[in-house]
Amino acid sequence: METIEAIKTRRSIGIVKQDPVPKEMIEQIIEAGTYAPNHHRTEPWRFFVLTGEGRNKLGQVFEEITRIENADDTPESLISKLERQKKNPLRAPVIIAVGIEPSDKNNVLVAEEYAAVNSAIQNMLLAAHSLGLGAVWRTGKITYHDKVREFFNLSSKGEVLAFIYLGYPDMEPKSAKKTPIDELTTWIG
């Protein structure tokens, strides 16, 4: 697949089959992430692959966070939220959590560390697409909770920036509507 074609045809695929994804494909996707641009070559990305029971363990963390964050809800409402959050990680056979551990070096800007990891995530999504896999980059408030950081044993400066849900597509993606570039671009000559 040509690069421009991959960029233009990649879509978030939120519904995937539960068929196992070969370890070699997962490793290719992670390796693609490590080729992202990274000022000062600090390699601030960290990757965590969750399959099988690992997804249930993450679901338990999501359930615990939801219980804390919604303590004032009615019991009926809380039970519904807890069940949904607990099951969320089971939506795909593989989740790659992508974390950041920013460098302590004085010459390294934290914003550039985040840019590098976000670029790594985009590389991973494009790699998954090129391999015929469906993927979606999931975040939300729960992603940045201290309990998620603790689950992945990240430092107090680290955090998770993405949960990439990965599997074989079980949906047809919608076409993308993009604003014409002339409406978004200013040429300065």
Question: Which of left, alpha, beta for 137 (phi over 0: left; psi -120 to 50: alpha)?
Answer: beta
Amino acid at 62: F
Amino acid at 2: E
Query: Please, are residues 150 and 46 in contact by the beta-carbon 8 Å criterion?
Result: no
Q: Which letter, b or e, does each residue of 28-51 get, where b requires 16 or more Cβ atoms within 10 Å of its Cβ? A: ebbebbeebebeeebebbbbbbbb
User: Is 11 assigned to a binding site?
Assistant: yes
Helices of type H across the chain: 3-9, 23-33, 53-69, 75-87, 110-130, 146-151
User: Is 46 assigned to a binding site?
Assistant: no
User: Is 91 assigned to a binding site?
Assistant: no
Binding residues for FMN: 10-12, 39, 137-139
Binding residues: 10-12, 39, 137-139
